[in-house]
Structure 1
Amino acid sequence: MQSEEGVGTTVSLQLNKTLPKNGNGANSFDYAKSGVFDLENKNVLIVEDNALNQMVLKILIGNWKNSRFEIANNGQEAIDLLKAQPFDVVLMDLQMPVMDGYEATTAIRAGAAGTAMSKVPIIAVTADVTQKARFRVLEVGMDDYMTKPINKEELYNKIKKAIYLGNPEMPHK
């Protein structure tokens, strides 16, 4: 970063991870295009207080090959589960009793679930479509954002993308 008063600021960023490319050379994360939904034995933590939304996610993820998941009803339960076992990705609702998704993410990033889980990919899954929510999600340290109702292909692509970016050794499919 270089800044000169009255002139301006130049910011340079170098990414060390190689992103998969589509045929046009652009970054592409359409993992669902093959029609095979395989989580390759990755463990997903669903943090959702609404029983209907839990059921939708259970059905979607439960029908994918090699999928495992646990459900937490609020942010505090999520932290307790993350302390007890490792997860590869967290699907985090934002508005929940006891501890909401923003508070839970802030606590997870601060190490409340242990150092190993402080960097777990967290994807916000919410009905809040406002720009303010999108900004706040990223501000507290979540990695991605998607809105309800849940689209199966979008959910799968976001999970695979989060896992792939979190582990560059994962084979790209």
Structure 2
Amino acid sequence: MASSMCGMFPGQQPPGSLPPPGPGGPGQPGLLTGTPGNRGANNTLVDELEASFEACFASLVSQDYVNGTDQEEIRTGVDQCIQKFLDVARQTECFFLQKRLQLSVQKPEQVEKEDASELKNELQRKEMLIQKHLAKIHHWQQVLEDINVQHKKPTELPQGPLAFLEQASANLPAPMKPN
């Protein structure tokens, strides 16, 4: 979905096309440098994202909104701030998707290395999870063995009228010796 929105904003190319050289050099469009179009000369995409986030936050804690009585006006203002933030976030995402596409075209081996690294990390994480579960299984098997051993002890004791008393007295602690 995000890649389908890349052409929705001014100054952006459709997916699959490489961006024109920007002020940062060939193939370096303006994430960190100002570009003509929808951003000012000194305003970067990162600055816009930060400013729109701050505007969202400010609109939620502003005294104007706290003291305001018109709920519809408050809702409209907050919605506009959030929509601007989402638009700039989409532009930022599109920028990174374009860079990722450029990287995959120019250096496909780098993408394969990253994929292999991600798979190795996933395998390590899953191996650790398996070890954790095996430790839990071992613990509960030991608990079950202990319970089984305790249940077998009463049947191994001699049967008779005094067997219960002998068993009970065996479990009593020894009397303390006076000093």
- Give the TM-score normalised by structure 2: 0.19
Structure with the largest fraction of strand = 1
Whichever of the two has the greater Rg, that structure is 2
- Give the TM-score normalised by structure 1: 0.20
Structure with the largest fraction of helix = 2
Query: Which protein, 1 or 2, shows the higher relative CO under an 8 Å CA cutoff with sep ≥ 6?
Result: 1
